[in-house]
């Protein structure tokens, strides 16, 4: 192939790539943009623009149902995230550190399954089991605790994946070096291993927090009277049709998430850049 | 006879060796990594375990450190049996091949890590860390993190960290493996000096002969889990115990032959292309097959037939005639491959002591090789 | 001396680390399945279940009601619902692969300085509530919505009607089209991320070697890049296909009477009909449906934890 033809082909590929990426991002973001725009629509007829307003946002302040749901969701999400990270870290350690133990394949399968299992299956089966337990022992009542259990099941699977990926890249000699220098196993964990996986633990926490905050199906199966999470409120409204109050909530959530993700990405990128500079500086002969 | 044991057996009044490795065996899932190894190491010695990968040297080192448990055998340090002691309770420290510096801690904190675990009082700890930094000349870098250091600097931190607790034994895992050639030479000397200054007993593991020979006072050559020879570098190089060691260390010509004469002062070995008159006696029976090991640098090569070589009774011994089939120029020396009548090839290494040598050998030339009576070594295994 | 107690302590520590998550999973993941299986064959007596095994006249009598399962197999409605769930999940997976593979590929081949930003832009929608984004499509596809207008303007709705994805031009909501669109949109990041992770780690020198040996870029792509990305393709496909089979929210918000999915059926049996045994039977059948891809995924996950970089 001649150089010119090859270069032409490369150019074509580059523009095709840019086009595809552009179209893809457009596809991903248009719904979000539309959502935000129509939250300022002064009309209850959907999709018909009738002027700019912030009345839907003002209405949110007195929307008891939604605010109660939000508070409950935040509480559950917080507990879920923390417990998911704890259980997930244990499971990740078991999978990465202990090469061989009886039933390892079954264990790995059980840990990973909630990642893909349809939530209706998880929700239904967990609920039925909890109902049987409740009939026998008198607790737990359907409500915040049962929702938390369902979210924890899902969250643990995600946390395990994140922590496990980080553990696998850790240099095993670091922990050996710590032991060689006199650190007992527990000291090795909290002085060496923990600081090094801290970032992974944080991202696992944030991931499971978001998952829990956003969950519909598990919450629906496992909730009880008075325990309506925010997604359930939104879902019931969305089922009935288009509702600008939902747009307003959505915009606020999008705003919060965007700020969080952008700031986090920027911080990480800056840390990486500084690190690269340091390494390059050290390599230069002094 | 030579199993690494010092003369303690002959002199019961001498104290037991500082580090005693006794009949260590390590099995992994049916595969024997270390096969009945026994070594005695004296206090203050720098001892090298030399061998190619998979020979068991690293496993042995890890058993000393406490990361692996021997299947059988004992390890005694200064009279104390190390069995059952976890790594964090052993009075020894290790410098890892990858340095294993804690990336989230500064140089200062890395060195202080072990001291903190030992609950050293703050003042004493500060003095010790500063002394260590001075020892490796990194005082100005105390506040830096590992990724802000060059490879050589990182290695020095690793060394300082492993010496900070004044261990009774220092273990080095391929200390120079991660460095490039130029840096390696400089670091070798520095490292040796520091270890000597501190005076700590040292066991190092390496696959690099140069490293072992320049840094260690005694070397143990290992292969497939077994100890093949233990001795000082010169001993190992000039009097290898068997074919494997002779071949493993440096370059060598191995010639099979038969023992035809065996006197207290000399032996004669008949090989395919030559007869060796060797100036030391061995224990053997006449007619037994032996191998003669001859190092390339000990052979003289030239166009003219050699005059009588010192110590050799007549011109029939210690010479061979062949054709130059290969020539490799290395700058400071040249290696010639001499094709001998039987088909064997003799490797000869000659220093280029003068810039231009008239009549220098080249491909296809007929040449004579000769050597003295003390150059070859007879190997019976 | 220290030997037995230290080893004992280490063993107990290790046992705890493995035991805690294992116990949790056994109780809250495995046990519920057993409960579901039991209930699926139970006779429902008002609000309680009759015993499966009873002592009757001195001998053991089983009271297993397999009627629910028979219904599943015999009733056309259930059978076709299962089939259509598999169908929609498969179509969604293919669509995600079609859109997502080039997307991940070009992301991985972009300049290294730009890649973190590209990745962040993909993650952002992922972190934003999926419920709200699905709801957004509702808005876009209803009359006068942006997407509805665009499709109308391009005349695409006639094409869609001809293919049978929508019942009639102009009716975009509550159709197979809106369902597949919604599912593809939601699960696209799940396809892109594993693919990107795989493709960005590929050694580009392999492509150079292929070029050196005479392969054009197009040929090199199909003979080198694609086979090497097989692990990513499988991971992404499983992450999309398996949950899609049992999806509930998207069919509920964007699907319609034409698009029966098994997730909705399960929900209706449980919440509307209050027929717990039936819901359980539907569940068991659903698990059997996805057991093969689930096993593939599990094994892939287990293997990936064993491979050390």
Please tell me what DSSP assigns to residue B141.
G
Angstrom distance (rounded) from CA B232 to CA B116: 38
- Cα C270–C276–C278 angle (5° rounding)? 90
Angstrom distance (rounded) from CA C306 to CA A107: 13
Region A112-126: mean pLDDT is 90
Q: Please judge whether A278 and B88 are an interchain contact, meaning their C-beta atoms are less than 8 angstroms apart.
A: no
pLDDT of residue C1: 40
Distance from CA of B99 to the nearest CA of A (A): 8
pLDDT of residue C7: 61
B314: tokens are 């007549």
Q: Can the peptide bond before residue A254 be classed as cis, meaning omega within 30 degrees of 0?
A: no
Cα end-to-end span (Å), chain A: 47
Query: What is the signed CA dihedral for C141, C189, C282, A216, rounded to 10 degrees?
Result: -70
C146 at interface of A, judged by CB pairs closer than 8 A: yes
The band of A28, judged by pLDDT with boundaries at 50, 70 and 90, is very high
Angstrom distance (rounded) from CA A227 to CA A230: 10
DSSP alpha helix (H) spans, B29-139: 57-65, 107-117, 122-135
A135 at interface of B, judged by CB pairs closer than 8 A: no
Per-residue pLDDT tens digits for A45-73: 777 788 888 888 888 888 899 999 999 99
Residue B15, C-beta contacts closer than 8 angstroms, at least 6 positions apart: none
Break chain B into its structural domains and give their ranges.
Answer: 7-243, 253-379
Residue A181, domain CATH = 1.10.3720.10
Angstrom distance (rounded) from CA C294 to CA A123: 18
Q: Please judge whether A91 and C130 are an interchain contact, meaning their C-beta atoms are less than 8 angstroms apart.
A: no
Give the residues of chain C that fall short of pLDDT 50: 1-3, 308-309
Contact B338, B323 (CB under 8 A): yes
A-chain CB neighbours of B162 within 8 Å are: 180
Instruction: Give the chain A residue nearest B183 (alpha carbons).
Output: A285
In words, the CATH class of domain C75-306 is mainly alpha
Q: Which three-class secondary structure string do you get for B255-272?
A: EEEEEEEECCCCEEEEEC
pLDDT of residue A23: 93
Q: Indicate the burial class of B285 (C-beta count within 10 angstroms; 0-12, 13-18, 19 or more).
A: exposed
Q: Please judge whether B83 and C6 are an interchain contact, meaning their C-beta atoms are less than 8 angstroms apart.
A: no
A188: tokens are 């090795």
Contact A115, A157 (CB under 8 A): yes
A274 at interface of C, judged by CB pairs closer than 8 A: no
Coil, helix or strand at residue B323? strand
Distance from CA of A22 to the nearest CA of C (A): 9
Angstrom distance (rounded) from CA B55 to CA B221: 9
Considering only CB atoms, A184 lies closest to which of B88, B100, B148, namely B88
Q: Indicate the burial class of C38 (C-beta count within 10 angstroms; 0-12, 13-18, 19 or more).
A: middle
Q: How many domains in chain A?
A: 1
Considering only CB atoms, A239 lies closest to which of C29, C137, C253, namely C253
C-chain CB neighbours of A31 within 8 Å are: 133, 136-137, 139-140, 185
Residue C99, C-beta contacts closer than 8 angstroms, at least 6 positions apart: A24, A27, C184, C188
Angstrom distance (rounded) from CA B164 to CA B93: 9
Q: DSSP letter string over A142-169?
A: TTHHHHHHHHHHHHHHHHHHHHHHHHHT
Angstrom distance (rounded) from CA C50 to CA C66: 14
pLDDT of residue C179: 93
Name the β-bridge partners of B349. B335
Contact A218, A119 (CB under 8 A): yes
Angstrom distance (rounded) from CA B162 to CA A172: 17
DSSP alpha helix (H) spans, A43-143: 55-61, 64-97, 104-116, 119-137
Question: What kind of fold does domain B7-243 have according to CATH?
Answer: Rossmann fold (3.40.50)
Considering only CB atoms, A216 lies closest to which of C103, C131, C295, namely C131
Region A163-180: mean pLDDT is 92
C-chain CB neighbours of B85 within 8 Å are: 2
Q: Pick from B58, B87, B115, B118 the residue to mutate for testing the A interface (most A CBs within 10 Å).
A: B87
Please tell me what DSSP assigns to residue B317.
B
Strand-strand pairing, B92-95 and B169-173: parallel
Q: Please judge whether C283 and A46 are an interchain contact, meaning their C-beta atoms are less than 8 angstroms apart.
A: no
The more confidently predicted of residues A100 and B305 is: B305
Contact C98, A209 (CB under 8 A): no
Query: What is the signed CA dihedral for B116, B117, B119, B124, rounded to 10 degrees?
Result: -40
Q: Please judge whether B89 and C2 are an interchain contact, meaning their C-beta atoms are less than 8 angstroms apart.
A: yes
Considering only CB atoms, C18 lies closest to which of A34, A46, A94, namely A94
Interface ipTM above 0.85? yes
Break chain C into its structural domains and give their ranges.
Answer: 3-62, 75-306
**CATH architecture group of domain B253-379:** Beta Barrel (2.40)
A58: tokens are 């003002």
**Chains that contact B by 3+ CB pairs under 8 Å?**
A, C
For residue A186, the enclosing domain spans 64-243
Contact B374, B365 (CB under 8 A): no
Contact B245, B288 (CB under 8 A): no
Residue C30, C-beta contacts closer than 8 angstroms, at least 6 positions apart: A110
Q: Is the pLDDT of residue A100 over 50?
A: yes
A6: tokens are 């090859």
Q: Which three-class secondary structure string do you get for chain C?
A: CCHHHHHHHHHHHHHHHHHHHHHHHHHHHHHHHHHHHHHHCCCEECCEECCCEEEECCEEEECCCCHHHHHHHHCHHHHHHHHHHHHHHHHHHHHHHHHHHHHHHHHHHCCCCCHHHHHHHHHHHHHCCHHHHHHHHHHHHCCCCHHHHHHHHHCHHHHHHHHCCCCCCCCCCCCHHHHHHHHHHHHHHHHHHHHHHHHHCCCCHHHHHHHHCCCCHHHHHHHHHHHHCHHHHHHHHHHHHHHHHCCCHHHHHHCCCCCCCHHHHHHHHHHHCCCHHHHHHHHHHHHHHHHHHHHHHHHHHHHHHHCCC
B-chain CB neighbours of C8 within 8 Å are: none
Q: Pick from B63, B106, B150 the residue to mutate for testing the A interface (most A CBs within 10 Å).
A: B150
Reference B206, options B57, B353, B15, B373; nearest CA is B57
Distance from CA of A286 to the nearest CA of C (A): 28
Coil, helix or strand at residue B295? coil
Name the β-bridge partners of C56. C59
Considering only CB atoms, C131 lies closest to which of A90, A149, A231, namely A231
Kindly report the pTM of this predicted structure. 0.85
Angstrom distances, CA of residue B240 to CA of B100, B231, B245, B256, B263: 36, 9, 6, 16, 21
State the residue for tokens 């020894």.
B92
Residue at A256 is within a domain: no
Query: What is the signed CA dihedral for C155, C157, C163, C164, rounded to 10 degrees?
Result: -160
Give the residues of chain B that fall short of pLDDT 70: 1-15, 308-310, 356-359
Distance from CA of A87 to the nearest CA of C (A): 6
Per DSSP (E only), the strands in A222-280 are: none
């Amino acid at each position: 192939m001649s150089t010119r033809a090859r270069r032409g082909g490369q150019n074509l590929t580059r523009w095709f790539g840019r086009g595809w990426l552009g179209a893809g991002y457009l596809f991903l973001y248009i719904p979000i943009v539309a959502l935000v725009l129509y939250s300022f629509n002064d009309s209850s007829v959907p999709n018909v623009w009738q002027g700019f307003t912030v009345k839907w946002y003002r209405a949110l302040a007195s929307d008891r149902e939604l605010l109660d749901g939000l508070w409950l969701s935040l509480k559950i999400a917080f507990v879920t995230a923390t417990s998911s990270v704890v259980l997930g870290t244990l499971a990740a350690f078991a999978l990465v550190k202990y090469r061989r133990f009886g039933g390892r394949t079954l264990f790995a399968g059980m840990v990973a399954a909630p990642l893909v299992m349809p939530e209706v299956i998880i929700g239904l089966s967990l609920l039925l089991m909890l109902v049987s337990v409740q009939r026998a022992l008198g607790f737990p009542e359907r409500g915040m605790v049962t929702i938390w259990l369902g979210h924890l099941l899902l969250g643990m699977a995600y946390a395990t994946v994140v922590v496990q990926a980080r553990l696998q890249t850790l240099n095993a000699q670091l922990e050996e070096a710590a032991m060689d220098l006199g650190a007992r196993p527990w000291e090795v964990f909290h002085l060496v291993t923990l600081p090094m996986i801290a970032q992974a633990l944080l991202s696992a926490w944030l991931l499971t927090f978001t998952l829990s905050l956003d969950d519909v199906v598990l919450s629906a199966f496992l909730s009880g009277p008075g325990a309506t999470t925010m997604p359930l409120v939104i879902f019931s409204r969305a089922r009935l049709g288009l509702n600008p109050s939902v747009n307003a909530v959505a915009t606020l959530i999008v705003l919060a998430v965007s700020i969080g993700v952008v700031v986090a990405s920027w911080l990480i990128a800056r840390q990486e850049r500084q690190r690269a500079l340091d390494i390059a500086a050290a390599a230069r002969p002094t | 006879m030579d199993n690494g044991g010092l003369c303690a057996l002959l002199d019961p009044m001498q104290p037991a060796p500082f580090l005693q490795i006794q009949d260590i065996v390590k099995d992994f899932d049916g595969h024997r990594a270390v096969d009945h190894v026994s070594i005695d190491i004296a206090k203050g010695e720098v001892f090298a375990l030399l061998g190619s990968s998979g020979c068991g040297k690293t496993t042995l080192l890890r058993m000393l450190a406490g990361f692996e448990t021997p299947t059988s055998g004992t390890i005694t340090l200064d009279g104390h049996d190390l069995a059952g002691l976890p790594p964090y309770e052993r009075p020894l420290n290790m410098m890892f091949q990858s340095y294993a510096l804690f990336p989230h801690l500064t140089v200062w904190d890395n060195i202080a890590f072990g001291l903190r675990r030992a609950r050293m009082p703050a003042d004493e700890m500060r003095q010790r860390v500063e002394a260590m930094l001075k020892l490796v000349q990194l005082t100005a870098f105390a506040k830096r993190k590992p990724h802000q250091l060059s490879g050589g600097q990182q290695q020095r931190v690793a060394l300082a960290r492993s010496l900070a607790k004044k261990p009774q034994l220092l273990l080095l895992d391929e200390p120079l493996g991660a460095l490039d050639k130029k840096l390696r030479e400089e670091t070798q000397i520095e490292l040796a000096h520091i270890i000597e200054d501190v005076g700590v007993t040292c066991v190092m593991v390496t696959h690099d002969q140069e490293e072992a020979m320049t840094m260690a006072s005694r070397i143990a050559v290992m292969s497939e889990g077994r100890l093949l020879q233990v001795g000082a570098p010169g001993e190992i190089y000039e009097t290898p115990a068997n074919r494997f060691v002779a071949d493993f260390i440096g370059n060598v010509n191995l010639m099979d032959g038969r023992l035809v004469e065996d006197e207290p002062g000399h032996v004669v070995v008949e090989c395919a292309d030559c007869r060796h008159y060797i100036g030391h006696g061995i224990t053997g029976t006449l007619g037994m097959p032996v191998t003669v090991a001859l190092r390339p640098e000990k052979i003289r090569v030239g166009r003219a037939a050699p005059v009588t070589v010192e110590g050799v009774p007549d011109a029939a011994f210690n010479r061979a005639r062949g054709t130059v089939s290969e020539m490799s120029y290395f700058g400071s020396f040249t290696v010639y491959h001499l094709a001998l009548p039987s088909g064997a090839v003799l490797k000869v290494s000659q220093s280029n002591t003068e810039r231009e040598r008239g009549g220098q050998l080249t491909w296809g030339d007929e040449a004579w090789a000769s050597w003295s009576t003390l150059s070859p070594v007879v190997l019976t295994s | 001396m220290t030997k037995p107690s230290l080893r004992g302590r280490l063993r107990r520590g290790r046992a705890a680390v493995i035991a805690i998550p294992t116990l949790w999973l056994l109780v809250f993941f495995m046990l519920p399945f057993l409960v579901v299986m039991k209930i699926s064959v139970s006779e429902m007596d008002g609000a309680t279940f009759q015993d499966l095994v009873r002592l009757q006249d001195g001998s053991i009598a089983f009271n297993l009601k397999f009627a629910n399962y028979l219904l599943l197999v015999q009733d056309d409605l259930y059978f076709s619902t299962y089939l259509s769930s598999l169908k929609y999940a498969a179509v969604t997976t293919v669509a995600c692969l079609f859109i997502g593979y080039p997307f991940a590929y070009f992301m991985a081949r972009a300049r290294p300085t730009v890649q973190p930003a590209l990745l962040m832009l993909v993650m952002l929608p992922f972190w934003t509530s999926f419920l709200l984004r699905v709801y957004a499509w509702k808005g876009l596809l209803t009359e006068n919505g942006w997407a509805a207008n665009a499709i109308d303007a391009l005349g695409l709705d006639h094409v869609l009607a001809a293919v049978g994805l929508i019942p009639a031009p102009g009716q975009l909501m509550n159709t197979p089209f809106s369902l597949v669109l919604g599912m593809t949109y939601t699960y696209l990041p799940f396809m892109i991320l594993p693919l990107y992770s795989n493709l960005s780690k590929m050694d580009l020198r392999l492509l150079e070697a292929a070029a050196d040996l005479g392969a054009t870029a197009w040929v090199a792509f199909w003979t080198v890049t694609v086979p090497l990305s097989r692990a990513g393709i499988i991971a992404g496909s499983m992450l999309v296909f398996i949950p899609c089979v049992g999806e509930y929210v998207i069919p509920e918000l964007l699907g319609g009477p034409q698009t029966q999915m098994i997730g909705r059926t399960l929900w209706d049996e449980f919440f509307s009909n209050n027929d717990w045994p039936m819901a359980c039977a539907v569940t068991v059948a659903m698990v059997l449906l996805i057991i093969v891809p689930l096993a593939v995924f599990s094994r892939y996950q287990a293997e990936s934890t064993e491979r050390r970089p």
